[in-house]
Structure 1
Amino acid sequence: MRIDLHAHSNASDGTDSPAELVRNAVAAGLDVVALTDHDTTAGWAEAADALHGTALTLVPGAELSCRVEGISMHMLAYLFDPEEPAFARERELVRTDRVRRAQAVVERCRALGAPITWEQVLRIAGRGAVGRPHVASALVEAGVVADVDSAFSKEWLANGGRADVPKRETDPAEAVALVRGAGGVTVFAHPGASKRGRTVSEATIADLAAAGLTGLEVDHLDHDEETRARLRGLAAELGLLVTGSSDYHGSRKTVRLGADTTDPAAYEALVGLATGAKPITG
């Protein structure tokens, strides 16, 4: 089985519609794909409808914006009840603040001389939850930077960069508790991605494991072989599952679906621990 547990649609900052993501996952030879848009479940229904006539299994999920010890991090949540009130409310608060932040980032970019507008960013975002990747695309359109990756530099949008603005982010231990309360399971996304900025300590990961974290996303484009080996050892020490995924964003990034995958045994263990929702098949 080929299992990719981290992919985005245009319900957040990917470029594929949820239905296109499903079709592309089938074309990539995947057996299972997780839809993990940022802080939203808006793409679940369309992706599920697109499964008809395919052998693909969809894992409904989300990628949560978190912060601990002053460090931004992402938490993958899978197979939770999207209607559970406490978790639904927290996702709504984070999404609302994403809009405020994106508007402020646009204003900072303009103050720095970038000829972009809020209307342009909204057009790029479409129906998706607006965020920095949409601002990055606007900077590319305006000829300010060569590509989206170049926009995430200290000159522009990187954490702590000239145009960066803080946003609401959930404490990760609270996020773990909220997801568990909604019957889901959690995996710390790309925990060793040091090129994105500071990473959390192994002691913090141990604390999250004690709080109920289920796994670590080890096999990821942003992890070199040394980092993967270290994280694999840490997962074994803490009794955490190991996952792998592409973190696919469509044409916004060059990574392809299935670039890294999850072992079927780890996938089955994740599914077995979840009570809030089940994988969806055509």
Structure 2
Amino acid sequence: MPAVPSILNADLHCHSIVSDGTLTPEELAQRARANGVELWALTDHDEIGGQQRAAAAAKANGLRYLTGAEVSVTFAGETVHIVGLGFDAEDPRMAQGLADTRDGRGPRAREMAEGLAKVGIHGAYEGALRFVGNPALISRTHFARFLVEAGYCKDTPEVFRKYLTEGKPGYVPHRWANLKDAVTWITQGGGIAVIAHPGRYKFNATEEYALFSEFKAHGGRGVEVVTGSHTPAEYVEYAGMAREFGLAASRGSDFHSPDESHCDLGALPYLPGDLTPVWELLADRIQ
């Protein structure tokens, strides 16, 4: 594999129909290529079932590829996401860990539907299933799409505000993996663990410092600095956190759908030049 440049259009965070995206892995690869992406990873939520398709599609489109997944973690009472990159997608420990994490989604979804029924929204579980590519991964996003289609809200952000966040009728918490387990699954398979979109979490400064400290202590090595949900000010903030904790920097749009996502594949600014890109640490894992 030729050396990978430190400055390139890498998009290492997106989702397909295998989890809560609306495009197939093949369609995502074509879109990435059309948008000038040079290094791509598919990072479905708690699922690696799309990895073979994504790798084959990347090859067919002339894209360099890293395996990926976004693992849901509970930390300090909040759901945090850890992106794994470059791991062995055939590692049985990773597959089993993600399967265990997914198991709670079905019962949680039925509880969400019950909560919505109490406020007059009936058939939400069945409605959400129509938007699910993988029934084991039914999520709040699928409920949101149903509620928009059914006319209860004008768009998915409104659904989350009114129905699917803490204290609202359709909100049900879920106990995910712990931070140590998620990082271990990724690293034991030869990959690198990355804190996804840290600006999204509602942590105070002490809690955020604890997240970064424990993450690194468990073997985590990267953080998303430039990502679709970060503001330019947060690019600067988390570049500083990468420097402070000695973490490599990652870049990813968190693209889910042409109709819903704030940022398209490959549309982000480049990483700050003084940071170590996570792909430099994964050069031998790039396909």
CA-to-partner distance for each residue in 1:33-52, whole Å, 9 max, x for gaps?
Answer: 11000000111122223234
**Residues 77, 52 of structure 1: alpha-carbon distance in 2 compared, 3 angstrom cutoff:** closer
Q: Report deviation, 1:67.
A: 0.8
**Residues 74, 27 of structure 1: alpha-carbon distance in 2 compared, 3 angstrom cutoff:** same
Q: Report deviation, 1:205.
A: 0.8
SS of equivalent to 1:208: helix
Q: Report deviation, 1:261.
A: 5.6
Q: Report deviation, 1:148.
A: 1.0
1:142 maps to amino acid: A
Report the TM-score when normalising by structure 2: 0.88
The answer for unaligned runs of 5 or more in structure 2 is 1-7
The answer for unaligned runs of 5 or more in structure 1 is none
Cα distance in 1, alignment partners of residues 232 and 88 from structure 2: 35
Q: 2:56 aligns with which of 43, 49, 67?
A: 49
Tell me, yes or no, if structure 1 residue 96 matches structure 2 residue 103. Answer: yes
Cα distance in 2, alignment partners of residues 203 and 176 from structure 1: 15
Tell me, yes or no, if structure 1 residue 117 matches structure 2 residue 124. Answer: yes
**Residues 84, 159 of structure 1: alpha-carbon distance in 2 compared, 3 angstrom cutoff:** farther
**Residues 160, 181 of structure 1: alpha-carbon distance in 2 compared, 3 angstrom cutoff:** farther
- 2:188 paired residue number: 181
Tell me, yes or no, if structure 1 residue 266 matches structure 2 residue 277. Answer: yes
Q: Are the counterparts in 2 of residues 219 and 244 from structure 1 also a CA contact under 8 Å?
A: yes
Cα distance in 2, alignment partners of residues 87 and 50 from structure 1: 22
Q: Are the counterparts in 2 of residues 13 and 249 from structure 1 also a CA contact under 8 Å?
A: yes
Tell me which moved more, 198-207 or 180-189. Answer: 198-207
SS of equivalent to 2:131: helix
Q: 2:170 aligns with which of 144, 163, 187?
A: 163
Q: Are the counterparts in 1 of residues 35 and 267 from structure 2 also a CA contact under 8 Å?
A: no
SS of equivalent to 1:16: coil
- 2:3 paired residue number: none
Q: Are the counterparts in 1 of residues 223 and 248 from structure 2 also a CA contact under 8 Å?
A: yes
Cα distance in 2, alignment partners of residues 160 and 3 from structure 1: 37
- 2:66 paired residue number: 59
- 2:223 paired residue number: 216
Tell me, yes or no, if structure 1 residue 133 matches structure 2 residue 144. Answer: no
Q: Report deviation, 1:139.
A: 0.7
Cα distance in 2, alignment partners of residues 235 and 267 from structure 1: 11
Cα distance in 1, alignment partners of residues 22 and 267 from structure 2: 17
Q: 1:79 aligns with which of 82, 86, 111?
A: 86
Cα distance in 1, alignment partners of residues 228 and 74 from structure 2: 22
Q: Are the counterparts in 2 of residues 14 and 252 from structure 1 also a CA contact under 8 Å?
A: no
Report the TM-score when normalising by structure 1: 0.89
CA-to-partner distance for each residue in 1:46-94, whole Å, 9 max, x for gaps?
Answer: 2223234422112111000001111111000112123333332220011
Cα distance in 2, alignment partners of residues 118 and 208 from structure 1: 35
Tell me which moved more, 54-63 or 158-167. Answer: 158-167
SS of equivalent to 1:62: strand
Query: Which structure would you say has the larger RCO, counting Cα contacts within 8 Å and 6 or more residues apart?
Result: 1
SS of equivalent to 1:243: strand
CA-to-partner distance for each residue in 1:195-218, whole Å, 9 max, x for gaps?
Answer: xx4464113212211221111111
Cα distance in 2, alignment partners of residues 249 and 27 from structure 1: 16
Q: 1:28 aligns with which of 27, 32, 35?
A: 35
Tell me, yes or no, if structure 1 residue 70 matches structure 2 residue 77. Answer: yes
Tell me, yes or no, if structure 1 residue 142 matches structure 2 residue 150. Answer: yes
Q: Are the counterparts in 1 of residues 11 and 41 from structure 2 also a CA contact under 8 Å?
A: yes
SS of equivalent to 1:89: helix
CA-to-partner distance for each residue in 1:167-222, whole Å, 9 max, x for gaps?
Answer: 1311112211221122211100011115xx44641132122112211111111232
Tell me which moved more, 73-82 or 116-125. Answer: 116-125
Q: 2:199 aligns with which of 179, 192, 195?
A: 192
**Residues 201, 267 of structure 1: alpha-carbon distance in 2 compared, 3 angstrom cutoff:** closer
Tell me, yes or no, if structure 1 residue 253 matches structure 2 residue 261. Answer: yes
Tell me, yes or no, if structure 1 residue 227 matches structure 2 residue 238. Answer: no
Q: Report deviation, 1:160.
A: 4.5
- 1:152 paired residue number: 160
Cα distance in 1, alignment partners of residues 61 and 9 from structure 2: 15
